[in-house]
Amino acid sequence: MCGRFSFAVIAEIIEEHFHVRVDTNTYKPRYNCAPTQKLAVISNQNPEELSFFRWGLIPFWAKDKSIGNKLINAKAETIDQKPSFKTSFKQKRCLVLSDGFYEWKKINSKEKIPYRIIMNNGSPFAMAGIWDRWKDESGESIDSFAIITTEPNDLMKNIHTRMPVILKPGEERLWIEEQNPGILKSLLMPIDSNLLLTYPVSKLVNSPANDSPEVLKRAGN
């Protein structure tokens, strides 16, 4: 699964890389993004601006928003079949913006070591996501998202059994604009291992309360 990531990129680079407008009064760098938080996405509904959706998909038909706490990821293999995800896959897709994600490698029955995974050129990237809009009884709406995961590439196999779908720059707009399900599914593959770097980080990342540059540092530094 993908349960934590970072997006600590200055506004000018976001605008240049993703071709969106960034409201600097709303956006702030995030070093330890966690479920239930409002985080930066680009949606197919508003593709020219940076939006902020809640992490943890709440399907439009849900009776209670707490279901979103369990739906932070969607498997690429079954995304067009699962009731919680298939409508969003067809109609509501988004780019979840990141500059690195975290995963925990199991060492033994009691210990896990956190790792940070980044692009080898240090650039920001987009993870494939889906979103939905849920309304409560009072009419208040919540826009929420899930990150799509796939099988691990050769690099990630040493750390975890799943990884987020990282889209290449040329695939980002295709993901939110394309309508053909077959083409969309073809994008949901593990990225080439050679494009990634990974390193261990401190256990500060274990707590979402630790949202500072210290979280990004290599363990031991």
pTM of the model: 0.96
Strands 73-75, 141-150: parallel, antiparallel or unpaired by DSSP?
parallel
Architecture of domain 5-216: Alpha-Beta Complex (3.90)
**pLDDT tens, position by position, 194-206:** 999 999 999 999 9
What is the rounded distance in angstroms from the CA atom of residue 120 to the CA atom of residue 22? 25
Say whether 2 is catalytic.
yes
The C-alpha torsion from 173 through 166 and 23 to 135, rounded to 10°, is: 90
Say whether 33 is catalytic.
no
Please measure the distance between the N-terminal and C-terminal CA atoms of the chain and give it in whole angstroms: 27
**pLDDT tens, position by position, 115-165:** 999 999 999 999 999 999 999 888 889 999 999 999 999 999 999 999 999
Q: State the catalytic residue, choosing from 2, 33, 94, 172.
A: 2
Domain boundaries, the chain: 5-216
| Model pLDDT, residue 221 | 61
Long-range Cβ pairs for the range 83-91 (8 Å, 24+):
83/59, 84/57, 84/59, 85/57, 85/130, 85/146, 87/59, 87/60, 87/132, 88/57, 88/59, 88/130, 88/131, 88/132, 88/146, 89/130, 89/181, 89/184, 90/181
Q: State the catalytic residue, choosing from 33, 94, 103, 172.
A: 103
**pLDDT tens, position by position, 84-107:** 999 999 999 999 999 999 999 988
Q: Residue written as tokens 């239930």?
A: 36
Residues 6+ apart with CB under 8 A from 57: 68, 71, 72, 74, 84, 85, 88, 130, 131, 132, 144, 145, 146
| CB distance 119 to 101 below 8 Å | no
pLDDT, averaged across the chain? 95
